[in-house]
Amino acid sequence: MLDNLVLFLAIIEREGLSAAGRELGLSPATVSERLAALEAYYGATLMTRTTRSLSLTEEGRVLAEGAQRLLAEADELESRIRWGTQKISGPVRLTAPVDLGQNRVVPIIDRFIEAHPDVTVDITLTDSFVDLVGQGLDFAVRYGPSADSTLKTRLIGENRRLICASPDYLARNGTPMHPDDLMQHDCILMRFAQNADRIWSFQVDGKTHDVVVRGRRTANNGHLLKRWALEGRGLCKKSVWDVQADLDEGRLVEVLAPFSSRRTVLQIVYPPSRVQPRRVSALIDAIATQLTIQDSVA
């Protein structure tokens, strides 16, 4: 229909079917057929033609005015969409774990926005998995393998979850030497949705060894868990990405390292899409690259 409207306006501008056909590379028969199709679609005669002249009917004049507006809007829409896939501008929506998001992802986002002022970013910090498609999110930074096989993934690096506590807590309560010793300690528990993570897994003699832990503090926010651990409130299980700086500075101490569970992954997941806006792919590239660099430095 848009092509036929372009032809219709060309006929008016060139004052003839043959001239319009030559401009658009169409045969006279094709021009006549497409004009007839346009008139059939609207159910009206759009122009009267003689061997020497061409004039618009009232319906033709109305269509000519509307076609000019419609084609201009279509060009603008196409430019905005195509430009959006090339220019780094527009909105990006993502989600990330609380601690990792606050400490590592947000600084990358700040630098990205500073470099690309036409970009806006909406980030949801949560330690729960979010339905990307249902929530209209462009991508997520996540620990562990994706449970949704339809999502595409980009590996950032390995992740290891460890048990740690403050030196003050260990001085007051002793250092656990075996996973079973945790049953005598106050453990800080993470809650995912409605379920607290009470079963902590380890490797003992090459086999998985689960321990049911207890504690007086449970939260669904990883940042709060780390804060309680730093305050000497108990032992917590955290990703090494979240506590590496605290371990390096001696604010937290890893325990039970010989029994550490198997490593998993840190990755970016995103819905499959034929064409990903450049603003989204550029931010994914920035996060993946800069987090990898930070990890190698750590």
Task: Tell me the pTM.
Answer: 0.64
All structural domains of the chain: 2-86 (1.10.10.10), 90-159+264-297 (3.40.190.10), 161-259 (3.40.190.10)
| Interval 96-106: pLDDT, tens | 999 999 999 99
pLDDT at 217: 96
Residues 6+ apart with CB under 8 A from 210: 199, 200, 201, 202
> For the chain, how many helices (H) and strands (E)?
11, 15
| Interval 195-243: pLDDT, tens | 888 999 999 998 999 999 999 999 999 899 999 999 999 999 999 999 9
Residue that wins the pLDDT comparison between 114 and 291: 114
3-state secondary structure of 54: strand
DSSP 12: H
Q: To which H or E segment does residue 236 belong?
A: strand 235-239
Question: Which residues are registered as beta bridge partners of 250?
Answer: none
Residue pair 156/291 in contact by the 8 Å Cβ criterion: yes
Spatial distance between the Cα atoms of 72 and 65, rounded to a whole number of angstroms: 11
- Burial class of residue 82, CB neighbours in 10 A (0-12, 13-18, 19+): exposed
Instruction: Quote the mean pLDDT of the chain.
Output: 88
Identity at 45, one-letter amino acid code: T
| Interval 241-281: pLDDT, tens | 999 999 999 999 999 999 998 888 999 999 887 567 888 99
Closest among 11, 285, 26, 257 to 156, alpha carbons compared: 285
